[in-house]
């Protein structure tokens, strides 16, 4: 996801004024013809449906400044609390599938409380309102996510692969006992701005008492999603291609649905 670098007073006066008046937008590279990508077929949905609970789920994306004038910008923290969709869990949990939707207009930029939780000098809690608003405007604009014509990002499971031993003390294995933390590598089909790509994401999950909790963190490049990072001033001010994505997703089965874990 491409967002603009925010401006500080260290820039020369003329450049600073131009960036402030425009909300610090950066001009994108003119994209070349996209490479041919072989689409992978999403997994079929089978088993017990678990609906994602938006109020209990959180997706955050950290984007980082770059270039010779990186000190003139900010690293940004993008967040979403409006994820929707369904996870389908069969008896063989390694055949779990899902479809999730991200309404891009619901992304927030640099919430002070979330930045404070980073406990990092790279993410001080306060970011100027103009910089935050300009970043969000550019993120949703035609040159980036183009929210007007592409209001959603869609994520679909292709497959799950075992990702090794469970965390110490969890007591479980892939497809093992209920309540244990299981580690898998999820192959996920992404649709961003109409471009379909497939990425791999490490996931930890627990399934018990009618609830599924999945979490994880991974580095992800904008270019892997078919996007082009912004750059300005001949590359002196730019946004790095690599982002850090972190998520915690809570999904719950309907009261009438059978409990796949077998626990009361």
The enclosing domain of 123 has a CATH number of: 2.40.128.110
> How many domains is the chain partitioned into structurally?
1
Cα 150 from chain centroid (whole Å): 16
Q: Which residues make Cβ contacts (< 8 Å) with residue 56, sequence separation at least 6?
A: 250
CB 179 within 8 A of CB 261: yes
Burial class (CB in 10 A: 0-12, 13-18, 19+), 108: middle
Residue 259 lies in a domain: no
Predicted local distance difference test score (pLDDT) of residue 175: 47
Residue 6 lies in a domain: no
Phi/psi zone of residue 120: left (φ > 0), alpha (ψ -120 to 50 degrees), beta?
Answer: beta
By residue range, what is the domain housing residue 160? 13-30+40-253
CB 54 within 8 A of CB 82: yes
Predicted local distance difference test score (pLDDT) of residue 152: 97
Residue 3 lies in a domain: no
Q: How many CB atoms within 10 Å of residue 264?
A: 6
Q: How many CB atoms within 10 Å of residue 134?
A: 24
Q: What pTM, to 2 d.p., does this model score?
A: 0.78
Residue 260 lies in a domain: no
Measured CA to CA, the distance from residue 87 to residue 71 in angstroms comes to: 42
Predicted local distance difference test score (pLDDT) of residue 47: 95
Residue 44 lies in a domain: yes
Residue 2 lies in a domain: no
* Integer CA distances (angstroms), 221 to 80, 137, 229, in order: 18, 21, 9
pLDDT tens for the 264 residues of the chain, in order: 544 444 333 344 434 333 433 334 444 444 444 454 567 899 999 999 999 999 999 999 998 866 554 455 678 899 999 999 999 999 999 999 999 999 999 999 999 999 999 888 888 888 888 888 888 988 898 888 999 999 999 999 999 998 865 555 444 444 445 568 899 999 999 999 999 999 999 999 998 888 999 999 999 998 999 887 766 565 556 677 899 999 999 999 966 555 555 444
Residue 155 lies in a domain: yes
Residue 105 lies in a domain: yes
Q: Could you tell me which of 46, 64, 112, 85 has the C-alpha nearest to residue 229? A: 64
Q: Could you tell me which of 33, 45, 109 has the C-alpha nearest to residue 76? A: 109
């Amino acid at each position: 996801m491409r967002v603009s670098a925010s401006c500080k007073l260290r820039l020369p006066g003329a450049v600073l004024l131009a960036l402030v008046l425009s909300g610090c937008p950066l001009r994108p590279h003119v994209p070349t013809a996209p490479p041919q990508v072989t689409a992978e077929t999403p997994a079929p949905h089978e088993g017990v449906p678990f609906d994602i609970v938006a109020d209990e789920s959180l997706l955050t994306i950290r984007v980082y400044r770059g270039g010779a004038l990186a000190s003139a910008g900010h690293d940004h923290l993008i967040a979403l609390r409006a994820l929707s969709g369904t996870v389908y869990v069969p008896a063989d949990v390694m055949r779990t599938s899902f479809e999730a939707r991200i309404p891009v207009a619901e992304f927030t930029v640099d919430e002070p409380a979330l930045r404070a939780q980073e406990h990092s000098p790279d993410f001080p809690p306060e970011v100027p309102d103009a910089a935050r608003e300009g970043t969000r405007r550019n993120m949703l604009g035609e040159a980036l996510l183009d929210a007007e014509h592409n209001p959603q990002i869609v994520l679909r499971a292709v497959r799950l692969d075992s990702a090794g031993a469970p965390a110490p003390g969890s007591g479980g294995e892939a497809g093992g006992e209920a309540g244990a933390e299981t580690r898998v590598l999820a192959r996920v089909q992404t649709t961003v701005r109409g471009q379909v790509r497939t990425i791999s994401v490490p996931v930890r999950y627990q399934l018990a008492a009618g609830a599924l909790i999945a979490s994880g963190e991974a580095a992800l490049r904008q270019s892997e999603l078919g996007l082009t990072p912004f750059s300005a001033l001949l590359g002196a001010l730019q946004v790095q291609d690599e982002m850090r994505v972190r998520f915690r997703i809570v999904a719950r089965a309907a009261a009438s649905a059978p409990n796949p874990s077998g626990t009361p």
